[in-house]
Amino acid sequence: MRNFVLLVVGLVSLTLLAHAESAQQENREQAETILIPFKQDLQQALREGLSRGPVEAVSACQLQAPKIADGISQDGIRVGRTSHRLRNPDNRSPKWARPILEEYLAEPSARTPRSLALADGRVGYVEPIYMQSLCLTCHGESLATDVADEITRRYPQDQAIGFKLGELRGIFWLEFPAAEELSLGDG
Ligand code: HEC
Protein backbone atom coordinates (compact mmCIF):
# COMPACT_ATOMS: atom_id res chain seq x y z
CA MET A 1 0.00 0.00 0.00
CA ARG A 2 2.78 2.37 1.03
CA ASN A 3 4.59 1.65 -2.21
CA PHE A 4 1.45 2.31 -4.17
CA VAL A 5 0.98 5.71 -2.49
CA LEU A 6 4.61 6.56 -3.18
CA LEU A 7 4.17 5.55 -6.80
CA VAL A 8 1.08 7.75 -7.20
CA VAL A 9 2.81 10.69 -5.46
CA GLY A 10 5.79 10.17 -7.73
CA LEU A 11 3.70 10.09 -10.89
CA VAL A 12 1.73 13.18 -9.91
CA SER A 13 4.97 15.03 -9.16
CA LEU A 14 6.42 14.02 -12.50
CA THR A 15 3.28 15.18 -14.32
CA LEU A 16 3.40 18.52 -12.50
CA LEU A 17 7.08 18.87 -13.23
CA ALA A 18 6.52 18.16 -16.91
CA HIS A 19 3.66 20.62 -16.95
CA ALA A 20 5.76 23.30 -15.21
CA GLU A 21 8.55 22.71 -17.71
CA SER A 22 6.33 22.99 -20.75
CA ALA A 23 4.78 26.18 -19.30
CA GLN A 24 8.30 27.54 -18.82
CA GLN A 25 9.22 26.60 -22.36
CA GLU A 26 6.05 28.30 -23.61
CA ASN A 27 6.86 31.44 -21.62
CA ARG A 28 10.38 31.56 -23.03
CA GLU A 29 9.09 31.20 -26.58
CA GLN A 30 6.51 33.95 -26.03
CA ALA A 31 9.22 36.21 -24.57
CA GLU A 32 11.56 35.58 -27.50
CA THR A 33 8.78 36.55 -29.91
CA ILE A 34 8.03 39.79 -28.06
CA LEU A 35 11.72 40.69 -28.05
CA ILE A 36 12.19 40.32 -31.82
CA PRO A 37 10.84 43.81 -32.80
CA PHE A 38 12.65 45.39 -29.82
CA LYS A 39 15.99 44.01 -31.02
CA GLN A 40 15.29 44.81 -34.67
CA ASP A 41 14.32 48.42 -33.94
CA LEU A 42 17.37 48.94 -31.75
CA GLN A 43 19.66 47.53 -34.45
CA GLN A 44 18.04 49.67 -37.09
CA ALA A 45 18.32 52.87 -35.00
CA LEU A 46 21.95 52.05 -34.34
CA ARG A 47 22.77 51.37 -37.98
CA GLU A 48 20.97 54.47 -39.18
CA GLY A 49 22.80 56.54 -36.58
CA LEU A 50 26.15 55.01 -37.48
CA SER A 51 25.59 55.75 -41.15
CA ARG A 52 25.78 59.42 -40.13
CA GLY A 53 28.93 58.78 -38.05
CA PRO A 54 29.55 57.44 -34.55
CA VAL A 55 29.13 60.78 -32.75
CA GLU A 56 25.71 61.26 -34.36
CA ALA A 57 24.88 57.67 -33.47
CA VAL A 58 25.40 58.37 -29.76
CA SER A 59 22.67 61.00 -29.77
CA ALA A 60 20.44 58.83 -32.00
CA CYS A 61 20.81 56.02 -29.47
CA GLN A 62 20.06 58.33 -26.54
CA LEU A 63 16.95 59.57 -28.29
CA GLN A 64 15.69 56.34 -29.82
CA ALA A 65 16.47 53.59 -27.28
CA PRO A 66 13.97 54.70 -24.59
CA LYS A 67 11.30 55.39 -27.24
CA ILE A 68 11.70 51.94 -28.74
CA ALA A 69 11.37 50.31 -25.30
CA ASP A 70 8.27 52.43 -24.55
CA GLY A 71 6.73 51.50 -27.91
CA ILE A 72 6.99 47.78 -27.15
CA SER A 73 5.91 48.22 -23.51
CA GLN A 74 2.14 47.97 -24.00
CA ASP A 75 -0.71 45.63 -23.01
CA GLY A 76 0.87 44.77 -19.69
CA ILE A 77 4.24 44.11 -21.33
CA ARG A 78 7.41 45.85 -20.13
CA VAL A 79 10.79 45.48 -21.83
CA GLY A 80 14.21 46.94 -21.28
CA ARG A 81 17.96 46.55 -21.38
CA THR A 82 20.15 46.81 -18.35
CA SER A 83 23.71 46.16 -17.28
CA HIS A 84 26.07 45.80 -14.32
CA ARG A 85 27.93 48.79 -15.84
CA LEU A 86 25.34 51.30 -16.96
CA ARG A 87 25.64 54.10 -19.42
CA ASN A 88 22.24 55.62 -18.68
CA PRO A 89 21.35 55.35 -14.96
CA ASP A 90 17.65 55.23 -16.00
CA ASN A 91 18.31 51.75 -17.38
CA ARG A 92 18.57 50.26 -13.89
CA SER A 93 17.51 46.64 -13.61
CA PRO A 94 14.10 45.70 -12.22
CA LYS A 95 14.67 44.18 -8.80
CA TRP A 96 13.64 40.64 -9.78
CA ALA A 97 16.17 40.51 -12.66
CA ARG A 98 19.17 41.56 -10.60
CA PRO A 99 20.01 38.13 -9.12
CA ILE A 100 19.99 36.60 -12.62
CA LEU A 101 22.39 39.25 -13.92
CA GLU A 102 24.64 38.54 -10.91
CA GLU A 103 24.53 34.83 -11.70
CA TYR A 104 25.35 35.44 -15.38
CA LEU A 105 28.35 37.50 -14.29
CA ALA A 106 29.62 34.95 -11.82
CA GLU A 107 29.15 31.90 -14.02
CA PRO A 108 29.44 31.98 -17.83
CA SER A 109 27.88 28.52 -18.17
CA ALA A 110 24.75 29.90 -16.42
CA ARG A 111 24.07 32.40 -19.20
CA THR A 112 20.95 30.71 -20.53
CA PRO A 113 17.63 32.48 -21.18
CA ARG A 114 15.44 32.28 -18.05
CA SER A 115 11.77 32.66 -17.34
CA LEU A 116 10.37 32.92 -13.84
CA ALA A 117 7.07 33.52 -12.10
CA LEU A 118 6.62 37.04 -10.72
CA ALA A 119 3.89 38.39 -8.47
CA ASP A 120 0.30 38.68 -9.81
CA GLY A 121 0.67 35.83 -12.29
CA ARG A 122 3.18 37.78 -14.33
CA VAL A 123 6.19 36.22 -16.00
CA GLY A 124 9.72 37.57 -16.03
CA TYR A 125 12.23 36.72 -18.75
CA VAL A 126 15.93 37.49 -19.06
CA GLU A 127 18.57 36.76 -21.68
CA PRO A 128 22.21 37.80 -21.98
CA ILE A 129 23.56 40.56 -24.26
CA TYR A 130 27.09 40.09 -25.56
CA MET A 131 29.57 42.51 -27.05
CA GLN A 132 29.79 42.29 -30.87
CA SER A 133 32.34 44.11 -32.99
CA LEU A 134 29.71 46.74 -33.88
CA CYS A 135 29.45 47.66 -30.20
CA LEU A 136 33.16 48.36 -29.67
CA THR A 137 32.84 51.86 -31.20
CA CYS A 138 30.90 53.05 -28.15
CA HIS A 139 31.48 50.42 -25.45
CA GLY A 140 34.97 49.10 -26.28
CA GLU A 141 38.39 49.60 -24.75
CA SER A 142 39.70 52.35 -27.01
CA LEU A 143 37.17 54.92 -28.19
CA ALA A 144 37.80 57.68 -30.72
CA THR A 145 38.29 60.94 -28.81
CA ASP A 146 35.23 62.65 -30.29
CA VAL A 147 33.03 59.65 -29.48
CA ALA A 148 34.38 59.44 -25.91
CA ASP A 149 33.79 63.19 -25.45
CA GLU A 150 30.23 62.97 -26.73
CA ILE A 151 29.47 60.06 -24.40
CA THR A 152 30.91 61.85 -21.35
CA ARG A 153 28.97 64.99 -22.23
CA ARG A 154 25.66 63.13 -22.48
CA TYR A 155 26.35 60.54 -19.77
CA PRO A 156 28.63 62.06 -17.10
CA GLN A 157 28.29 58.89 -14.98
CA ASP A 158 29.02 56.47 -17.85
CA GLN A 159 30.38 53.07 -16.77
CA ALA A 160 29.81 51.31 -20.08
CA ILE A 161 33.22 51.46 -21.73
CA GLY A 162 36.14 49.05 -21.56
CA PHE A 163 34.18 45.99 -22.71
CA LYS A 164 35.88 43.32 -24.81
CA LEU A 165 34.45 41.46 -27.80
CA GLY A 166 32.27 38.57 -26.60
CA GLU A 167 32.06 39.90 -23.04
CA LEU A 168 28.72 40.03 -21.23
CA ARG A 169 27.44 43.57 -21.79
CA GLY A 170 24.14 43.19 -19.92
CA ILE A 171 20.70 41.66 -20.31
CA PHE A 172 17.41 42.06 -22.10
CA TRP A 173 14.56 41.77 -19.58
CA LEU A 174 10.87 41.41 -20.12
CA GLU A 175 7.70 41.22 -18.01
CA PHE A 176 4.39 39.99 -19.37
CA PRO A 177 1.12 38.43 -18.21
CA ALA A 178 1.19 34.62 -18.05
CA ALA A 179 -0.69 32.91 -20.88
CA GLU A 180 -2.02 30.21 -18.59
CA GLU A 181 -2.01 29.77 -14.85
CA LEU A 182 -0.25 26.64 -13.66
CA SER A 183 -2.85 24.76 -11.67
CA LEU A 184 -3.49 21.24 -10.37
CA GLY A 185 -5.48 18.87 -12.50
CA ASP A 186 -6.05 20.89 -15.65
CA GLY A 187 -4.35 18.17 -17.71
C1 HEC B 1 26.92 54.75 -31.37
C2 HEC B 1 27.28 54.34 -30.08
C3 HEC B 1 26.79 53.00 -29.58
C4 HEC B 1 26.97 51.77 -30.15
C5 HEC B 1 27.69 51.44 -31.47
C6 HEC B 1 26.36 50.83 -29.26
N7 HEC B 1 25.83 51.46 -28.17
FE8 HEC B 1 24.96 50.60 -26.55
N9 HEC B 1 24.51 52.40 -25.82
C10 HEC B 1 24.85 53.61 -26.41
C11 HEC B 1 24.18 54.67 -25.70
C12 HEC B 1 24.24 56.16 -26.02
C13 HEC B 1 23.41 54.06 -24.68
C14 HEC B 1 22.47 54.74 -23.68
C15 HEC B 1 21.05 54.74 -24.27
C16 HEC B 1 20.06 55.34 -23.33
O17 HEC B 1 20.21 56.53 -23.00
O18 HEC B 1 19.12 54.61 -22.93
C19 HEC B 1 23.64 52.64 -24.79
C20 HEC B 1 23.07 51.69 -23.95
C21 HEC B 1 23.24 50.35 -24.04
C22 HEC B 1 22.68 49.36 -23.15
C23 HEC B 1 21.70 49.65 -22.00
C24 HEC B 1 22.34 49.67 -20.66
C25 HEC B 1 23.11 50.93 -20.35
O26 HEC B 1 24.33 50.80 -20.18
O27 HEC B 1 22.50 52.03 -20.28
C28 HEC B 1 23.10 48.15 -23.58
C29 HEC B 1 22.78 46.81 -22.96
C30 HEC B 1 23.90 48.38 -24.76
N31 HEC B 1 23.99 49.72 -25.00
C32 HEC B 1 24.48 47.37 -25.52
C33 HEC B 1 25.04 47.59 -26.76
C34 HEC B 1 25.42 46.51 -27.66
C35 HEC B 1 25.28 45.03 -27.37
C36 HEC B 1 25.90 47.11 -28.80
C37 HEC B 1 26.33 46.45 -30.07
C38 HEC B 1 25.32 45.67 -30.76
C39 HEC B 1 25.85 48.54 -28.58
N40 HEC B 1 25.32 48.79 -27.35
C41 HEC B 1 26.31 49.48 -29.49
C42 HEC B 1 25.68 53.78 -27.47
C43 HEC B 1 26.07 52.79 -28.35
The per-residue pLDDT for range 122-136, each reduced to its tens digit, is 999 999 999 999 999
pLDDT of residue 176: 95
Ligand 1 pocket: which of 48, 61, 161, 168 to mutate (most atoms within 8 A of CB): 61
Beta-bridge partners for 80: 173
pLDDT band at 186 (very low <50, low <70, confident <90, very high): very low
Q: Which residue has the higher pLDDT, 156 or 178?
A: 156
Ligand 1 centroid, distance to 7 Cα (angstroms): 53
Least confident piece of the model among 1-5, 74-78, 103-107, 154-158: 1-5
From the CB of 88, is ligand 1 less than 6 Å away?
Answer: yes
Q: Is 139 exposed, middle or buried (CB count within 10 Å of its CB: 0-12, 13-18, 19+)?
A: buried
The per-residue pLDDT for range 68-115, each reduced to its tens digit, is 999 999 889 999 999 999 999 999 999 999 999 999 999 999 999 999
31-53 average pLDDT score: 95
Atom of ligand 1 nearest to the CA of 65: 18
Give per-residue burial for 40-68: e unless 16+ CB within 10 Å, then b. Answer: ebbeebbeebbeeebbebbebbbebbeeb
From the CB of 61, is ligand 1 less than 6 Å away?
Answer: yes
Atom of ligand 1 nearest to the CA of 137: 5
**Vertex 112 angle, CA 110 and 117, to 5°:** 105
The amino acid at 125: Y
Nearest to 60 by CA among 151, 131, 130: 151
Ligand 1 centroid, distance to 79 Cα (angstroms): 15
Where do the domains of the chain lie?
2-186
Contact between 183 and 146 under an 8 Å Cβ cutoff? The reply is no
From the CB of 147, is ligand 1 less than 6 Å away?
Answer: no
pLDDT of residue 10: 82
> CA–CA separation, 88 vs 92, rounded Å?
8
Residue 180 has pLDDT above 70, yes or no: no
Nearest to 126 by CA among 110, 138, 146: 110
From the CB of 114, is ligand 1 less than 6 Å away?
Answer: no
146-162 average pLDDT score: 98
> CA–CA separation, 30 vs 37, rounded Å?
13
pLDDT band at 19 (very low <50, low <70, confident <90, very high): confident
Give per-residue burial for 71-109: e unless 16+ CB within 10 Å, then b. Answer: ebbeeebbbbbbbbebbbeebebeebbbebbeebeeeee
Percent helix / strand / coil, the chain, rounded to 5: 55, 15, 30
Q: Is the four-CA dihedral 155, 156, 158, 161 of positive or negative sign?
A: positive
**DSSP state for residue 109 in the 8-state scheme:** G
Residue 187 has pLDDT above 70, yes or no: no
pLDDT band at 15 (very low <50, low <70, confident <90, very high): confident
Least confident piece of the model among 37-41, 147-151, 172-176, 179-183: 179-183
